[in-house]
Amino acid sequence: MSMKIRLARGGSKKRPHYAIVAADSRMARDGRFIEKLGTYNPLLPKDSEERVKMDLERVQYWLGQGAQPTDRVSRFLEAADVLPKKERANLKKGEPGKAAQERAKEKAEKAAAAAEAAAAPAEESAE
């Protein structure tokens, strides 16, 4: 049985509240789970202690049993120093789009041309 430590969504529309659960990976997101390990309330401020609550002993137990945390849960565990921090490369999202890249290229070319034009009269007066 492939185990996951993941989020199960609760709460009403536009008011999410998540339970951190250990579940069989074949079950639905909000479906049957084996054990509730904590809660996550994204509506609270990021520095609030109530935002993420976990029973770290049980999380350690499930990790020892081979349960794989999802990306979001692994970030919570990294923040709690349960898992080592992973290097994440988010290369595509950090890149500007095609139009923005073209605008930046044009701006750089204009700046280079202006710098060249400013440098040319200075060289002539120095001679």
Successive 10-residue mean pLDDT values, the chain, 127 residues: 90 94 91 93 92 93 93 91 82 78 92 82 58
Question: What does the pLDDT read at residue 30?
Answer: 87
CATH number of 3-79: 3.30.1320.10
d(CA 92, CA 90): 6
Long-range contacts, 8-16 (Cβ 8 Å, 24+): 8/33, 15/43, 16/42, 16/43
Question: What does the pLDDT read at residue 87?
Answer: 83
Question: What does the pLDDT read at residue 86?
Answer: 84
Question: What does the pLDDT read at residue 118?
Answer: 80
User: Phi, psi (5° rounding) for residue 57?
Assistant: -65, -45
Question: What does the pLDDT read at residue 124?
Answer: 58
Question: What does the pLDDT read at residue 38?
Answer: 95
Global pTM? 0.68
Q: Quote the DSSP letter at residue 87.
A: P
The domain limits of the chain are: 3-79, 91-126
Q: Count the neighbouring beta carbons within 10 Å of the beta carbon of residue 12.
A: 7
